[in-house]
């Protein structure tokens, strides 16, 4: 199971553990969506399955904060916010090397190879190409690694991992896009999500710190970058 940090009649906000799929995939490993539905069934003594809407995703090796919808209407409204780029998502990552610019916007076009589950940079007009945009800030550099804060402007599959690999700063422990990856957890964490509550219309912001007592996070003074 995972940590639940907020729950009301409309939404469920949780901390996704690393290396657990968000939804059932070909591995047939226990997935987060099923775990949370089971939790709702047990908590509310529901008969049959509980409804829980998946409105956004995190890659399997990525951990951090996620929001789910407990009603179809809330799911529809949250999905609309995401489509209209009204949901703010902030990540922390540790990358190899030092990006050329301390702050910058990366814009690429990505195409996913569904068969091999790999995403590649491609020309803008290639069939299936999708625009990917993120803003980043280098917070610290120690030796051959940099701590980076990232604001996603689009939500493409594997986006952060592919775009940083493309500027020769692959994420630490990225088994898919870093040929020299170590064997620890991927150094990518969904730190913050902000959105408008689908019913109350109030602005909600949830933040979950990365596991800063573990490598490679503990190599950096990450506490001073965590805004409460």
What contacts 100, CB < 8 A, 6 or more positions away? 167
Alpha-carbon distance of 206 to 197, in angstroms, equals 12
Best CA proximity match to 161, nearest among 172, 149, 145: 172
Evaluate whether 92 touches 210 at the Cβ level (below 8 Å): yes
Q: Please tell me the distance from the alpha carbon of residue 177 to that of residue 119, in angstroms, as a whole number.
A: 9
Does 174 participate in catalysis according to the annotation?
A: no
Give the chain's radius of gyration (CA, Å).
18
Pairing of strands 11-16, 53-54: unpaired
Which sign does the torsion angle of CA 136, 140, 141, 147 carry?
A: negative
Catalytic residue among 59, 144, 174, 213: 59
Q: What angle do CA 133, 66, 195 make, to 5 degrees?
A: 70
The CA distance from 76 to 55, in Å, is 8
**Residues carrying an active site annotation:** 59
């Amino acid at each position: 199971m995972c940590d639940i940090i907020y729950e009301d009649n409309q939404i469920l906000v949780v901390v996704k553990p690393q290396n657990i799929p968000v939804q059932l995939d070909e591995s047939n490993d226990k997935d987060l969506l099923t775990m949370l539905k089971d939790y709702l069934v047990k908590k509310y003594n529901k008969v049959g399955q509980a409804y829980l809407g998946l409105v956004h995703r995190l890659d399997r090796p990525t951990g951090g904060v996620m929001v789910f919808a407990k009603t179809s209407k809330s799911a529809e409204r949250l999905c609309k916010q995401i489509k209209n780029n009204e949901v703010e998502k902030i990540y922390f990552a540790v990358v190899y090397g030092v990006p050329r610019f301390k702050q910058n916007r990366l814009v690429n076009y990505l195409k996913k190879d569904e068969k091999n589950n790999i995403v590649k940079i491609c020309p803008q007009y290639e069939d299936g190409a999708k625009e990917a945009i993120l803003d980043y800030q280098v917070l610290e550099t120690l030796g051959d690694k940099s701590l980076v804060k990232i604001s996603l402007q689009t939500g493409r599959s594997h986006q952060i991992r592919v775009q940083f690999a493309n500027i020769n700063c692959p994420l630490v422990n990225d088994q898919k896009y870093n040929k020299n990856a170590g064997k620890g957890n991927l150094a990518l964490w969904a730190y913050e999500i902000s959105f408008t509550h689908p019913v109350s219309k109030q602005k909600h912001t949830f933040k979950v710190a990365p596991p800063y007592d573990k490598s490679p996070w503990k190599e950096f003074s990450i506490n001073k970058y965590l805004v409460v």
